[in-house]
Amino acid sequence: MDVKKGYREVEDKARELGREVDGHDVGDDIGNAGDEIRKDLGNTGDDLRRGIDDAKRDAERQGDVPDDEPLTNDPYKDEPR
């Protein structure tokens, strides 16, 4: 488990516990479901990014892509996210 996934798990559990302090209602279930979706999407994005980076690294090692040629034409690559 990487650090981001661990952090998301702890953050999720803390929110669930915070919602249970004042009792349980339907809004808590909706909030918990939203947190799970956000966490899963974040983890999926990290996994995809890691997979793309691995594929790029493998292609560069095999000589399929020259080092100076980008794999994508990303006009926003130098802008902060």
pLDDT string in tens for the chain (81-residue length): 588 888 988 999 899 888 888 888 898 899 999 999 999 999 999 999 999 999 988 888 887 665 565 556 666 666 665
pLDDT of residue 47: 92
pLDDT of residue 41: 93
23: alpha, beta or left, given left = phi > 0 and alpha = psi -120 to 50? left
Can you read off the two tokens belonging to residue 81?
């996210």
pLDDT of residue 35: 92
CA atoms in the 13 A half-sphere facing the CB of 65 = 13
